[in-house]
Amino acid sequence: MGAYLNKICQTPNLDNLAKNSLIFNKAFTSVSSCSPSRSAILTGMPSHENGMYGLHQGVHHFDSLEVDSLPKILRRHSIRTGIIGKKHVGPGDVYPFDYAQTEENNSILQVGRNITYIKLLTREFLNSTEDKPFFLYIAFHDPHRCGHTNPQYGEFCERFGNGEEGMGLIPDWTPIYYQWDEIVPPYYIPDTEAARKDIDAQYITMSRLDQGVGLVLKELQDAGHLDDTLVIFSSDNGVPFPNGRTNFYDSGIAEPMFISSPIHRERRNQITNSLTSLLDIVPTLLDWYGISENVTQNWATNNIEEKRNLTGKSLLPLLIKEPDDKSNEAIFASHNLHEVTMYYPMRMIRTQRYKLIHNLNYASPFPIDQDFYLSPTFQDLLNRTKSHEPTNWFKTLKSYYNRPEWELYDLKVDPAEINNLALKPSMKEVFNQLKKRLFEWQKDTQDPWICAPHAVLENQGSYKNNPSCLDLDNIW
């Protein structure tokens, strides 16, 4: 989008929102996978702690544990909650919205991509609030891929509702079209005709998302709530391209984020380079609503008790002032599975300068998900690799599939994360410091994978009061 200096893709509504917001330059998801990321957004807990280990739907069938979620907390404080669009988390009693128009009771194409319908649903919700405090979570499905489920509408459903014969018409959408040969792919996407046309299709759906955001903000204004409502715009996981979604490289976890506050005007149209995680959204909203309640999960009884500590932080102070010292900032990430067959658990810590990734299942090839596999970009990359043609990519598929247990990058000199420093003697102190901080975060978030892959966690019976990692002697 234009606010992040893209010179091709046209996003005037998002750019206008950015001008009235603090723009986050270093916002990251805690997991680059659909359901796990959405569960983290709505609980403030990483997926290994809230139980949403992978995709929620179909054969994957992952569900969150009986944890406290944002809609639960807000309901206890008489705040009306609503969700429009893609929900993709469960079970329902963990995420109980007062108003819900999602793929569970609608076509996802309608509630996720039909911006006219989304506009009308937004109006319906706002008219039902009776001027009471509310929380509305609008989850656009653009610009997600859809070619594997609805190929008739194009790789990104860019033809859905465009007025062509058989495509239907979304009255409020004016598609914006591009010249694929004028698009310059970012460094992590192959510079090929197939990839450029793929990006072109995604850009078209960005116009639908952008115009949808404009419609929603207009509904907020018409309802008289534009000047008393905190607006957060972000995404949930990485782009569905090579080195993107399901990865912990910056190309897979970096997110757009704008926060517009009617109260905090000091830093509108400014940027922050403070490290931010989507795990910060719940603490931010609790701060906004003035909810000081802290609760904890009693794992023995499954009851909610007082004083649960979220590892995220409120972002509201950033709307007033940039931190004087960001040198000790760190964000963390945790991935277990995407599809149920894609077991590739990873843990990550990222500071302002360094990133450490722990690949727990490093002996197996990095897995590829279904919709990305069928994409024109990946098929072209795969076929070029098989036929020994130039891929015009900054990696090889062999190096992409086969990863070491530890990856350490100096982001100051290597922002593309190519030169792994994990085994470099001069980086031993940095490696050990990051490893220790990552382990402490895993302890704080009760990570079941904390001892993997070289030990077994024992925390019951004789070890109940002294949880221990017992060595497997499996390093040869």
Distance CA 474, CA 361 (A): 13
Which long-range contacts (C-beta less than 8 Å, at least 24 apart) are formed by 429-438? 430/354, 431/356, 431/406, 434/349, 434/351, 434/354, 434/356, 434/408, 435/356, 435/358, 437/330, 437/349, 438/332, 438/347, 438/348, 438/349, 438/356, 438/358
Q: What are phi and psi of 15, to 5 degrees?
A: -65, -35
Q: Are 118 and 140 in contact (CB under 8 A)?
A: yes
Cα separation values, 401 from 109, 131, 364, 382, Å:
33, 53, 8, 12
Structure tokens at 313: 């932080």
Q: Are 362 and 403 in contact (CB under 8 A)?
A: yes
Per the annotation, the verdict on 157 as an active-site residue is no
Q: Are 408 and 420 in contact (CB under 8 A)?
A: yes
Which long-range contacts (C-beta less than 8 Å, at least 24 apart) are formed by 7-11? 8/178, 8/182, 8/183, 8/184, 8/203, 9/178, 9/203, 9/206, 10/176, 10/207, 10/210, 11/206, 11/207, 11/210
Identify the three-state secondary structure at position 229: coil
Q: Where are the alpha helices (DSSP H) in 228-354?
A: 250-253, 281-288
Distance CA 102, CA 124 (A): 14
Distance CA 224, CA 30 (A): 34
Q: Where are the alpha helices (DSSP H) in 88-192?
A: 108-113, 115-127
Check 9, 34, 146, 157 and give the catalytic one: 34
Distance CA 98, CA 135 (A): 10
Q: How many other CB atoms are found less than 10 A from the CB of residue 259? A: 27
Q: Where are the alpha helices (DSSP H) in 387-456?
A: 397-401, 428-444
**Which residues are catalytic, by number?**
34
